[in-house]
Structure 1
């Protein structure tokens, strides 16, 4: 049986605003069935890195909060801390960033709670016993909530291919050690010829895995005076990839020899862990707006690759992500975006940006472990 995925476009009138359409969408998708009366409802969202502009607008979150209250729940907005050095690595910086990005309680009318505590260590160990993960480390605020509602900004991603409901829950709900477990085999590659030895990436590394060393005499160099080159200690590197986009010379990149399918599988298994005990009390909402070519974890957002499409809601995280990718791939590319010259720009938007990534594997494995179904019925409201 196909899973139901509900869709609303972004058109609005005096009679029906976009805020009203969001409420109608989530109610059709089963909001009242998942919210427990007087229960704690975790609204899992990405607050956006400081400087990023692609995350979901706070004003679009408020109607979800209001609808949860109408259904009898006690909503709070939540996300877990990051691995990399940025503006969301601990609860103080994370909450400050969230408020500066517009997620003030006076706007969203709900408290903000960092799921894994002040230093990313407040988690619950969830038994899994799956292929790669025997257990998952899930932020306590999410693990202990009665209901989980995922609000995901749908975009492309450098390692997962795309980020939707599965990534928002699997990676986003994990504590710092949970994120470390998922990233453990994804390490950056150094393009020695581009590295000028400036050390900018070292400042981004929270784990002391990067250092400057003397450049071998026979090593390529960007200019004769470049005597130093970056070195990565693989024993200390956790694979968070935070250094890659910090390099002004683009001398760091994803090492495509690492096993990205296994990274996706860990992320999927962590989604299973985050939903444990809430399988019947979860709802997933994907915002297909400002669909950027990279994660919202960066301190900027590149031009969107396609025009805004709409908003989806479903009880099935696999179905909603499959439907989201299908809708994105059906759109013509924006000629102002980074995919304008790719031979894949019309057929496969992920391949147009990341030709080495098999994004479908994320969904294939999610279906395999019983997280949901790739078969769906798109219901346009």
Structure 2
């Protein structure tokens, strides 16, 4: 596979042009008019940020993305899937409220919000793939049914995956709640008897009938039938079937890549990526805070190749100097900042995604002022 083009605009402007405008220009250079046809329903995948977090991409940039999509005839909507953990975004009502509180109102962005996997995380589609871990993955229905997609990513570190780029934004971000459980652990549901309230919701939700209420009115799992989908974790409102996080960094990254493969299936030539290498925090934006950026703000990337844009972002952060007073302060130019901060090699997801045929790690960086 030949090198992919990755378009780059630095934070500093030599021509007194707004970074907002230049981010939109990057999308056009990456092929927006070819990816979006007249009347296309376009999913704009982003992370709305948790309450208290400030690392997410600012709504003013999303308004520019929306404006550019509309200019080529697309009908954009903002989307993300519900979270596995029980924070501010575990269901569509709380998720949309969190998004509005962080500035993503229609008045600001000029596009509606549609949570990809619906009210409670069950509006998902089983997408067949050929992966190492999965032969099908569950992806939020709104993203699957969209005609095209623009993926807006805030580049940052991640405590479990090492690196949060476009692959994680798409794979983890568009997997429904039960899919997130499957990514985080080889799942075997365990019921905490003292927390079970005999509501029967897990019984109703289980797609294979592996759960029943026992004589003592506590949920009981038949492990001979259970196939580890994680729906019961998403179902239980009392946390009696606990989320499991036991996995290895390599396995987590491979599962993220395989879910990205599912989310992108059937959309060849219909997806563009816009990645912001600004406020590069050491941790995920799912936290209720944002730690100090580990490197100076670098710029924005755009591409039609999800693997290449992640590799370019990773390389640019590695080449940057660590900032004094942050978790990157002792790291010089050329050092792998993400691995140093998290202890995890975050490039494994790119290698697995490349093996799955999602793109190439070889890229040509094209600077646009």
Give the TM-score band, short-chain normalised.
0.7 to 0.9
Q: CA 1:14 to 1:280, structure 2 compared with 1: closer, same or farther past 3 Å? A: closer
Larger helix fraction of residues:
2
Deviations 1:293-333 (A, max 9, x none): 00000000000000100000000000000000000000000
Match of 1:115 in 2: 116
Match of 2:339 in 1: 351
Q: Contact conserved, 1:139 with 1:173, CA < 8 A, in 2?
A: yes
1:339 aligns with 2:340: no
2:275 aligned counterpart, secondary structure: strand
1:378 aligns with 2:365: yes
1:267 aligned counterpart, secondary structure: helix
Find 1:238's aligned residue among 235, 240, 243. Answer: 243
Q: How far 1:366 moved relative to its partner? A: 1.0
Q: How far 1:5 moved relative to its partner? A: 0.2
Q: Contact conserved, 1:186 with 1:263, CA < 8 A, in 2?
A: no
Q: How far 1:9 moved relative to its partner? A: 1.2
Q: How far 1:259 moved relative to its partner? A: 2.0
1:259 aligns with 2:218: no
Aligned length: 317
Q: How far 1:148 moved relative to its partner? A: 1.0
Q: Partners in 2 of 1:17 and 1:298 — Cα distance?
A: 29
Q: CA 1:346 to 1:4, structure 2 compared with 1: closer, same or farther past 3 Å? A: closer
Match of 1:290 in 2: 279
Q: Contact conserved, 1:185 with 1:263, CA < 8 A, in 2?
A: no
Find 2:355's aligned residue among 368, 371, 376. Answer: 368
2:90 aligned counterpart, secondary structure: coil
Deviates more, 1:14-23 or 1:68-77: 14-23
Match of 1:125 in 2: 126
Unaligned runs of 5+ in 1: 188-206, 208-234, 241-254
Q: Contact conserved, 1:152 with 1:287, CA < 8 A, in 2?
A: yes
1:112 aligned counterpart, secondary structure: coil
Q: Contact conserved, 2:181 with 2:187, CA < 8 A, in 1?
A: no
Match of 1:3 in 2: 4
Q: How far 1:340 moved relative to its partner? A: 2.1
Normalised by the length of structure 1, the TM-score is 0.80
Q: Contact conserved, 1:186 with 1:260, CA < 8 A, in 2?
A: no
Match of 1:225 in 2: none
Q: How far 1:134 moved relative to its partner? A: 1.1
1:103 aligns with 2:104: yes
Deviations 1:283-302 (A, max 9, x none): 01100010000000000000
Q: Contact conserved, 2:42 with 2:76, CA < 8 A, in 1?
A: yes
Unaligned runs of 5+ in 2: 189-201, 203-239
Within 5 Å, give how 1:77-96 maps onto structure 2: 77-96=78-97
Q: Contact conserved, 2:126 with 2:136, CA < 8 A, in 1?
A: yes
Q: Partners in 1 of 2:352 and 2:294 — Cα distance?
A: 26
1:280 aligns with 2:269: yes
Q: Contact conserved, 1:124 with 1:139, CA < 8 A, in 2?
A: yes
Find 2:312's aligned residue among 305, 315, 323. Answer: 323
Match of 2:45 in 1: 44
1:41 aligned counterpart, secondary structure: strand
Q: Contact conserved, 1:333 with 1:346, CA < 8 A, in 2?
A: no
Q: Partners in 2 of 1:92 and 1:49 — Cα distance?
A: 14
Q: Contact conserved, 2:85 with 2:243, CA < 8 A, in 1?
A: no
Q: CA 1:303 to 1:185, structure 2 compared with 1: closer, same or farther past 3 Å? A: farther
Q: Contact conserved, 2:24 with 2:64, CA < 8 A, in 1?
A: yes
Q: Partners in 2 of 1:186 and 1:140 — Cα distance?
A: 23
Q: Partners in 2 of 1:5 and 1:185 — Cα distance?
A: 35
Match of 2:64 in 1: 63
Normalised by the length of structure 2, the TM-score is 0.82
1:353 aligned counterpart, secondary structure: helix
Q: How far 1:75 moved relative to its partner? A: 0.3
Q: CA 1:287 to 1:18, structure 2 compared with 1: closer, same or farther past 3 Å? A: same
Q: How far 1:129 moved relative to its partner? A: 3.0
Aligned CA-pair RMSD: 1.9
Find 1:268's aligned residue among 257, 261, 282. Answer: 257
